[in-house]
Chains A and B, each alone.
Chain A
Amino acid sequence: MFGYYLELALRSLKRNRVITALMVLAIGLGIGASMTMITVLHVMSGDPLPGLSSQLYVPMLNVWSSSGHGGNTPDGFTWPDVQNLLRAHRADAQAAMAEGVAAVHPTQPGVGVFFAVGQFTTAEFFSMFDVPFRAGHGWTAQQDQARARVVVLNSRLDHKLFGNRTGIGQTVQLGDAAFRVIGVLDDWNLQPDFYRQKGNHLYGQRDQLFLPLQTALALHMPMNGHFSCWGDGAESRTSNQCTWVQFWVRLDNPVKALAYGHFLDNYWQQQKAHGRFQNAGHPPHLYGLMSWLAHEHIIPDTLAMQMWLAIGFLIVCMLSVVALLLAKFLRRSGEISVRRAMGAKRRDIFMQFGIESALIGTAGGLLGLMLAQLGLWSIRQRPEGYAQLAQMDVMMLVGTVVLAIVASVLAGLLPAWRACQVPPALQLKTL
């Protein structure tokens, strides 16, 4: 019976090719648009560090001692606060970081000076974020204190500078100073790069080098990002009235997180007692990684809005298809009543038309899949950082097919039901 219905459906679809094509197009457009947006949102809202993300926290210390900043959270920590927190060493791992730029002087002839973006950070950065090394290792806390001139390169910069053999043990001239390469990272590509200062491009950018923050400070290496001071902050990196450093901690379980929260509260109260943070309204807060991403709207709001827009678009497309199918099926009332009069049950009629709409849905789904790939491709051509991520994974592929089938079956349900309501005898009269 299924084969017979399939044949009937195909014949019926062929009878009016324009309408069939329009219906397939409508479903395809709706599926294509919504799957493009859902995929973009899906890849962006993923967990950047699965397994570790629940243990990573970012403390927020409200430092503004003025009303000029409204209720905004600050852009980071002041250097003295970060040093205090690092020294206290209350978390399982902790690191401070700031985005910096280094002028790289390659040794090979013919290659000019170029700039590389990276993180100026502290020793535990690598262990805290579980950064994979291809060769070598990070530096130690002693090297931090000694302002050691050591650097860790990512695999791309390493390849650019030293070719196929790693540059471990070699020196590279960064700005005014020579640095010894002590580590080369394996492919490490967090999406998003959550540890960056808010407002920086968090998607698509890759840190090319890592070197001790204290060394960078001593050498006055240029740093990127917001650098905000209040009061008589003297615009100095080491001032306790200028925020710019990022600080992350790893706390292995919720109990420790609670304890760390208390520690921060105490620290804040203590500093207040010393006359700092006088006008800061809110006590410190410890954000988990995922809630930090949500709090900072790391995923642009516009993307979520676009997704809802695309889903609205799909609904309109489905309504259109329902209308077209209904028209198509009811036009065949005569045929239906003949079949009913000859003994077909309502279920049979329902099956016949259900299969026809499922066929349209499948075709529309395939078209939608192609359109979604086209949409994702066009997003990948855009200059935004996150654009490079716009790829469908297996889950999204399956999701697209499922969505297409669900949409078409839903769209076909009502028309098929109406079709099987056609009474056998009444219509016969009009034939």
Chain B
Amino acid sequence: MPIRPILSSLRRHKLIVTLLALLVAFTCAIVCNVAFMIRQHVADMGVPSGVAESQLVMIESVNLKPGVNHIAQHRVDLAALRAIPGVTSAAAVDALPFNGNNWSTTASITPNGQNVAQLSVFNGTPGELQTLGLKLVAGRDFRADEYVPKHATANNGGLQHVPAVIVTRALAERLFPGKQALGRLIYPYSNGVRIVGIVNGLLQPGGGNGPDNNFSALFSMLPDGMSVTYVLRTSPHDRAQVLQLARKALLKVDPDRVLLHPQTFTQLRARHFSRTRTMIDLLLAAAFGLLFVAALGITGLANFWVQQRTRSIGIRRAVGATRGDILHYFQTENFLIVTGGVVLGVILAVGLNLLLMQHYEVPRLPLWYLVVGAVALWVLGQLAVLAPALRASHVPPVVAVRSA
């Protein structure tokens, strides 16, 4: 298809060509950036928690009676929970990834030294590691004699004499870069706590997608506050039933307690990301809306052009052009205009990204988004022009002599 005659024809319709190119350019710029934002949100939502998510259910229990020995109560409760058919293990914990129950403290690697990291403190009864499904990459689980009470009502004083800690790999690397962390002491206070194990990863209770969000540490401390979360591990299809039975079992042990937030880990994660989910839905709707409206404009203009040039099409057909020639003419014309728009759109997209980077926390737009955006608009343009171009190709040659 010779391009020169198409170009000279376009030059006579500068206004409409400019409009179309602008339409394509704006759409391209916005869609590229929106696609990138969607990708980032999807990445946020996919952040691994480190625990066996599909097998966990949890329920919060609050004991309001004064003077209760909470640690003893947990032991009784856990015995009842482990007796539930389908439960493979159970633990009483305070913090969990996404549950927002974040107790963070700073730690140094020498007594009273410079703080090296801010870490999230996780505590739980023996068996927490196994229940959560955390994978030890080095070292061991806590020994029974290492557990101390957390002393929740005495300012969490347990942290001042806890002997052992299991840290995540990310935290170990921050505390002792390039060195063996296992067996070393860390100092949340003036007392040293020995690293007895290293787990692959455990996301902080607040979530997050950064490397710092894996600075988590399990201490050999037993929760002893009035509120505790029981985590049960079971097979994925038993979760709903186990949750119901757990509720009954706990109320049977002590009917006066308050049970809160019975949920699967999957639900906990979904709740944590409900806002991100909203954002993704909104962005998707905006992107499709944009493409739809842009297609509307392109189709409308192509229709108009076909109608305006009906007689010229007839003449071309009369002097020997085939239907295919006419079809290709409109398709090539559309391709040229969209290409012009895409070039401008790519520049706009990069500019928009730079602007967003300046004002919001947005990373640089990877180049291949521009390529995908350009291809998407080419396809969109071709789809939008197809119907009008087909109609043009069906203009009979006799039109040339009819109205002249």
Residues of A within 8 A of B (CB): 19, 22, 25-26, 29-30, 33, 66-69, 103, 105, 112-115, 175-176, 220, 222, 226-232, 234-237, 239, 301-302, 304-306, 309-310, 312-313, 315-317, 319-324, 326-328, 330-331, 382-384, 414, 418
Which residue in B114, B271, B279, B283 is a CB contact (below 8 Å) of A67?
A: B114
Given contacts A316-B294, A317-B293, contact A331 B307 (CB under 8 A): yes
Q: How far in angstroms is the closest Cβ of chain B from A373?
A: 16
Q: How far in angstroms is the closest Cβ of chain A from B117?
A: 7
Is residue B71 contacting chain A, with contact meaning CB distance below 8 A? no
| A312–B31 alpha-carbon span in the complex (Å) | 10
A175: which B residues are within 8 A, CB to CB? Answer: 64
Q: How far in angstroms is the closest Cβ of chain B from A164?
A: 27
Kindly report which residue of chain B lies nearest to residue A176, judged by CB atoms.
Answer: B66
Q: How far in angstroms is the closest Cβ of chain B from A396?
A: 19
Task: Flag if B19 contacts A232 (CB, 8 Å).
Answer: no
Task: Flag if B304 contacts A66 (CB, 8 Å).
Answer: no
Task: Flag if B361 contacts A230 (CB, 8 Å).
Answer: no
Task: Flag if B304 contacts A330 (CB, 8 Å).
Answer: yes
Task: Flag if A319 contacts B22 (CB, 8 Å).
Answer: yes
A323: which B residues are within 8 A, CB to CB? Answer: 16, 19-20, 23, 297-298, 300-301
A330: which B residues are within 8 A, CB to CB? Answer: 304, 308
| A234–B303 alpha-carbon span in the complex (Å) | 76
A317: which B residues are within 8 A, CB to CB? Answer: 293
Of the listed stretches B102-110, B123-131, B134-142, B236-244, name the one at the interface; the rest are far from the partner chain: B102-110
| A19–B299 alpha-carbon span in the complex (Å) | 10
A305: which B residues are within 8 A, CB to CB? Answer: 37, 356, 360
Task: Flag if B16 contacts A324 (CB, 8 Å).
Answer: no
| A231–B308 alpha-carbon span in the complex (Å) | 80
B298: which A residues are within 8 A, CB to CB? Answer: 323
B114: which A residues are within 8 A, CB to CB? Answer: 66-68
Given contacts A68-B106, A322-B19, contact A19 B116 (CB under 8 A): no
Task: Flag if A19 contacts B300 (CB, 8 Å).
Answer: yes
Task: Flag if A315 contacts B258 (CB, 8 Å).
Answer: no
Across the A-B interface, the 8 shortest Cβ-Cβ residue pairs: A327-B304, A320-B297, A68-B115, A324-B300, A236-B155, A66-B115, A319-B23, A323-B297
Interface residues on B, range: 35 or more
Q: How far in angstroms is the closest Cβ of chain B from A32?
A: 9
Which residue in B64, B102, B116, B278 is a CB contact (below 8 Å) of A384?
A: B278
A301: which B residues are within 8 A, CB to CB? Answer: 359-361
| Contacting residues of chain B (143-165) with chain A, CB-CB under 8 angstroms | 153, 155-157, 159-160
Which residue in A176, A230, A234, A331 is a CB contact (below 8 Å) of B304?
A: A331
Is residue B83 contacting chain A, with contact meaning CB distance below 8 A? no
B303: which A residues are within 8 A, CB to CB? Answer: 327
Which residue in A19, A220, A309, A322 is a CB contact (below 8 Å) of B286?
A: A309
Is residue B296 contacting chain A, with contact meaning CB distance below 8 A? yes
B189: which A residues are within 8 A, CB to CB? Answer: 232, 234
Q: How far in angstroms is the closest Cβ of chain A from B79?
A: 25
Most chain A Cβ neighbours within 10 Å, of B22, B34, B278: B278
Which residue in B64, B103, B301, B308 is a CB contact (below 8 Å) of A103?
A: B64
Task: Flag if B64 contacts A382 (CB, 8 Å).
Answer: no
| A181–B159 alpha-carbon span in the complex (Å) | 38
| Contacting residues of chain B (284-339) with chain A, CB-CB under 8 angstroms | 286, 289-290, 293-294, 296-298, 300-301, 303-305, 307-308
Which residue in A29, A114, A176, A327 is a CB contact (below 8 Å) of B293?
A: A29
| A306–B278 alpha-carbon span in the complex (Å) | 12
| A305–B360 alpha-carbon span in the complex (Å) | 8
Kindly report which residue of chain B lies nearest to residue A27, judged by CB atoms.
Answer: B293
Is residue B30 contacting chain A, with contact meaning CB distance below 8 A? yes
Given contacts A320-B23, A326-B19, contact A235 B286 (CB under 8 A): no
| A274–B245 alpha-carbon span in the complex (Å) | 58
Task: Flag if A33 contacts B289 (CB, 8 Å).
Answer: yes
A309: which B residues are within 8 A, CB to CB? Answer: 30, 34, 283, 286
Is residue B73 contacting chain A, with contact meaning CB distance below 8 A? no
Kindly report which residue of chain B lies nearest to residue A36, judged by CB atoms.
Answer: B282
Kindly report which residue of chain A lies nearest to residue B19, judged by CB atoms.
Answer: A323
Q: How far in angstroms is the closest Cβ of chain B from A248?
A: 24
| A172–B115 alpha-carbon span in the complex (Å) | 45
Which residue in A22, A232, A306, A312 is a CB contact (below 8 Å) of B300?
A: A22
Task: Flag if B66 contacts A320 (CB, 8 Å).
Answer: no
Task: Flag if A315 contacts B155 (CB, 8 Å).
Answer: no
| A326–B102 alpha-carbon span in the complex (Å) | 60
Task: Flag if A227 contacts B103 (CB, 8 Å).
Answer: yes
| A68–B360 alpha-carbon span in the complex (Å) | 24
Task: Flag if B296 contacts A22 (CB, 8 Å).
Answer: yes
Task: Flag if B19 contacts A319 (CB, 8 Å).
Answer: yes
| Contacting residues of chain B (83-128) with chain A, CB-CB under 8 angstroms | 102-106, 112, 114-118
Kindly report which residue of chain A lies nearest to residue B119, judged by CB atoms.
Answer: A68
Task: Flag if B296 contacts A320 (CB, 8 Å).
Answer: yes
Kindly report which residue of chain A lies nearest to residue B404, judged by CB atoms.
Answer: A430
| A306–B102 alpha-carbon span in the complex (Å) | 30
Which residue in B104, B190, B300 is a CB contact (below 8 Å) of A320?
A: B300
Which residue in B16, B62, B155 is a CB contact (below 8 Å) of A235?
A: B155
